[in-house]
Amino acid sequence: MRDLICDEFQNTVSELLIRHHSILDVLSKLQETCARTNRATVKAVTGCGCLSIEAKKKQIPPDLSITDLKDYFESHLRGELCDNCREIIETEIGKTLFYLTALCNLLDLNLYDIFLKEHKKITTLRVFNFT
């Protein structure tokens, strides 16, 4: 059985996408929304300061197993998103989802089917997925 919320979202996007209906428009808007999400995340660090980044090169021990890699690496993030930055980033991710769904619609792809296929792949391959 298909996920009704995902299908409903995809149908709603199809109904609402009027102005940017060209595949070229959708591709460029998708790229723009991804860039805006990146920018909003960077501004949480450089503008607001609710997040900070502490990164340096990690030397991987030669005897470290592949399953232990996840525990060895980290996100380099320190802090927590403030309410304002969280709201901005959630909004930008929402726009990204909208245009990703619009792309699926134009290419006659079902977002939920793609989600299921990717979920099956990563749960089957587990740590050997390396995405």
Going by their DSSP bridges, the two strands 77-79 and 51-53 should be labelled as antiparallel
**Structural domain of 86:** 4-128
Q: How many CB atoms lie within 10 A of CB 124?
A: 9
pTM of the entire predicted model? 0.84
pLDDT per residue, tens digit, the chain (131 aa), is 567 899 999 999 999 887 778 999 999 999 999 999 999 999 999 999 999 999 988 888 888 887 787 778 888 999 999 999 999 999 999 999 999 999 999 999 999 999 999 999 988 877 666 55
**pLDDT, position 130:** 59
Say how many domains are in the chain: 1
Domain containing residue 58: CATH number: 1.10.287.1080
